[in-house]
Amino acid sequence: MCRRFALDLDWDAVAARFAVDDDDVNADALPEPSYNIAPRQAIAVVARSRDGRHHLTGADWSLIPRWSMTDDLPYPTYNARVESIATKPTFADSTRSMRCIIPASGYYEWHGAKPFYFHAGDDNPSGMLSMAGLYSWWRVSASAPWRLTATIITCQAVGGPATVHDRMPLLVSPALCDAWLNPTIDGSALLPQVHAAGEPLSRALAFHEVAPLDGDGPGLIRPVIREEPLRLF
């Protein structure tokens, strides 16, 4: 699972990466830099509207399906398993035509009580992870404003990340970003291809142990340095 991540990116660079025009960047809705984003907080999403335009805006991190009568669901929706999103009622509609990319600087997973920080390797100079996501518009009543909500898709961990945790965010390769964001393509058919193309990206992630998360700021991703114990003999 992914229940904490870091987001400290240049929004102009993110917009350029996904061909988002200046008029389609909702700067007021984008979150402030954070190294300890938790579910239900504001995150950033890139999505495509029916007219083919890409948008960069903010969303609430926990997907609420449009048909739900409440935003207080009895189960967590900040993550969605790739193996079941096409059939689970909560995520099925979004899988078909409401997919997004959730940019991140990195994310955390825990091995027991020890947190580890995962981030792009040296072969990714942008330092940005393109996490696969789903979105949904929800409102409590017909007179209430719409809220944009989103979830991060997770998959089975591979390579080095699998030594820390058995799940990880599904990463979207640059070659498939356009198709992933295209709402006219049924996402159910895309999933195997996106999953397979994301595996090399997952194996290339760098990671290190960090101190227990407390507060916020770049100090949270500082590696834990464990000194060798003093040996007398």
pLDDT at 130: 98
pLDDT at 229: 62
Which numeric CATH code is attached to 5-210? 3.90.1680.10
* Pairwise CA distance, residues 188 & 39, whole Å: 25
pLDDT at 231: 59
pLDDT at 126: 77
pLDDT at 100: 98
pLDDT along the chain (233 residues), means of 10: 92 97 98 98 97 97 97 96 97 98 98 96 82 98 96 97 97 97 96 97 96 97 79 56
Considering the entire predicted model, what is its pTM? 0.95
Q: Which runs of consecutive H residues, i.e. helices, occur in the chain?
A: 11-17, 89-97, 177-181, 187-203
**∠ CA 111-202-38, rounded to 5°:** 55
